[in-house]
Structure 1
Amino acid sequence: MDLIEFEEQRTLRREEAAARLHEIADALASNNAFEFERNGRRFTVHVPDEVDLSVEFEAGDEGRELEIELSW
Structure 2
Amino acid sequence: MADELLEVTEKQTLSREAAAARLRSLADQLARHNQVEFVHNGVRHSVKVPAEVELSVEIEIGDESEIEIELSW
Higher strand proportion: 1
Large movers: runs of 4+ above 3 Å: none
After TM superposition, the score normalised by the length of structure 1 is 0.94
- Counterpart of 2:53 in structure 1 is 51
Q: Percent identity?
A: 58
Per the alignment, in what secondary structure is the counterpart of residue 70 of structure 1? strand
After TM superposition, the score normalised by the length of structure 2 is 0.93
Question: What are structure 2's unaligned runs of at least 5 residues?
Answer: none
How much does 1:68 deviate? 0.3
Question: What are structure 1's unaligned runs of at least 5 residues?
Answer: none
Q: d(CA) in 1 for partners of 2:42 and 2:9?
A: 16
Q: d(CA) in 1 for partners of 2:56 and 2:19?
A: 18
